[in-house]
Copies of this chain bind each other. A is one copy, B any other.
Amino acid sequence: MIDGCPPGIALAPEDFAHDLARRATGRTRHTSQRREADGVEILSGVYEGVTTGTPLALLVRNVDARSRDYDRIATRFRPGHADYAYWQKYGIRDPRGGGRASARETTMRVAAAVVAKKWLAERHGVRVRGHLAQIGDIVPRGHDWEAVEANPFFWPDAAQVPELEAFMDALRKSGDSVGARVNVVADGVPPGWGEPVYGKLDAGLAAAMMSINAVKGVEIGDGFASVAQKGSGHRDAMAPEGFLSNHAGGVLGGISSGQRVVCSVAFKPTSSLRLPVKGLDVDGNAVDIVTTGRHDPCVGIRATPICEAMMALELMDQALRHRAQCGDVGEVVPRIPAAPRQR
């Protein structure tokens, strides 16, 4: 359900296909072999191909559920999963696909963000893009946005793809999984989005990213590297031709600065492995737990469109809130360009 969406945005079921396919499993041997068709049914909020401004309801059904895969875990707490936490909270747990803790849950995030990406691009010229920035110990050597969409890893250096494939094949054979880092950037964000205390843009981005399952860390701009930096090196000098660097990652005081918005996100390795681990059953007895079923050896690989989605949703929310409060603030001080072209 998307409430508060501006009217007049052209929207058809086909618009969802591209990003949902990027997020879907089953496209390569490096992701879960679950088949996600992800057809979107628009239940309300669109008339004659255009959003009406009334609540927009999207429905994506799960067409390849195999609930029997989950029978074995129905009475066990899988380490690294939310099983134990759910049970303690609710006194009951739906074991099928992990319930709301399933990676399936991110489908709707990507679907909702299709609308946000369209609006941001059409109204503000904002472009949100992401790529994988680390997998295990491997980091990109080069950076080429063209490459990102041309390989199943969203990897920005085409030359490294064979290395990644070999790494993932070995990992899959070992029965283990690995973490990953995803970087997301937004170009074209004007200065002024965000709020000074309760609705800070960076706080919103942090919550948005951390709300994705398996995320354990979020950085804006230089992030944790700032800890060892000096102020003279971190602060981004300004000149009439633009910002001279972008350590801030596009946010200052909770408000967009006009620089590229830069966010980096850490994904933990999946805990669903066929390697056994000490766990418990619901009666508190020690058991060895082995997870079969169709799982991703690296959930971070498919996470690039999900991180893009969360950034787009947060940016659009901020843009609307900014327009509410400051819709009639005219230009008082001259706007300078973002940092000189970034790759």
Q: List residues of chain A with CB under 8 Å of any chain B CB.
A: 1, 3-8, 43-44, 47, 50, 52-55, 59, 77, 79-82, 84-94, 96, 98-101, 105, 123, 134-137, 176-181, 190-194, 196-198, 200, 202-211, 213, 215-224, 226-240, 244, 247-249, 251-258, 266-273, 275, 277-280, 282-286, 300, 320-330, 332-336
Contacts and interface: CB of A to CB of B under 8 A. Distances in A.
B196 A334 contact: no
A327 to B, nearest CB: 5
B6 A176 contact: no
B137 A228 contact: yes
A285 B285 CA distance: 56
24 contacts: A7-B329, A47-B96, A77-B238, A84-B252, A85-B256, A88-B333, A89-B329, A100-B253, A176-B231, A176-B232, A179-B229, A202-B211, A206-B209, A216-B220, A216-B223, A219-B224, A231-B268, A231-B271, A238-B280, A239-B278, A239-B280, A240-B285, A247-B268, A323-B327
Given A3-B197, A235-B271, 12 more contacts: A8-B329, A82-B196, A89-B191, A89-B255, A91-B332, A98-B253, A100-B196, A180-B227, A217-B223, A217-B226, A219-B224, A324-B327
Contacts of A234: 80, 179, 268-269, 271
Ranked nearest first, the 10 interchain pairs of A and B with the lowest CB-CB distance are A82-B253, A80-B235, A177-B231, A89-B192, A324-B324, A88-B191, A207-B207, A231-B269, A206-B210, A47-B94
Contacts of A326: 6-7, 53, 89-91
Q: Please give the count of copies of this chain that the complex contains.
A: 4
A143 to B, nearest CB: 18
Question: Which of A180, A218, A256, A257 gathers most chain B CB within 10 Å?
Answer: A218
A286 B43 CA distance: 35
A204 to B, nearest CB: 7
A223 to B, nearest CB: 4
A333 B232 CA distance: 55
Contacts of A86: 196, 253, 255
A40 to B, nearest CB: 15
A213 B256 CA distance: 14
A266 to B, nearest CB: 4
Question: Which of A90, A192, A203, A335 gathers most chain B CB within 10 Å?
Answer: A90
A92 to B, nearest CB: 5
Contacts of A221: 216
Contacts of A323: 323-324, 327
A280 B240 contact: yes
Contacts of A237: 79, 277-279
Contacts of A59: 43, 59
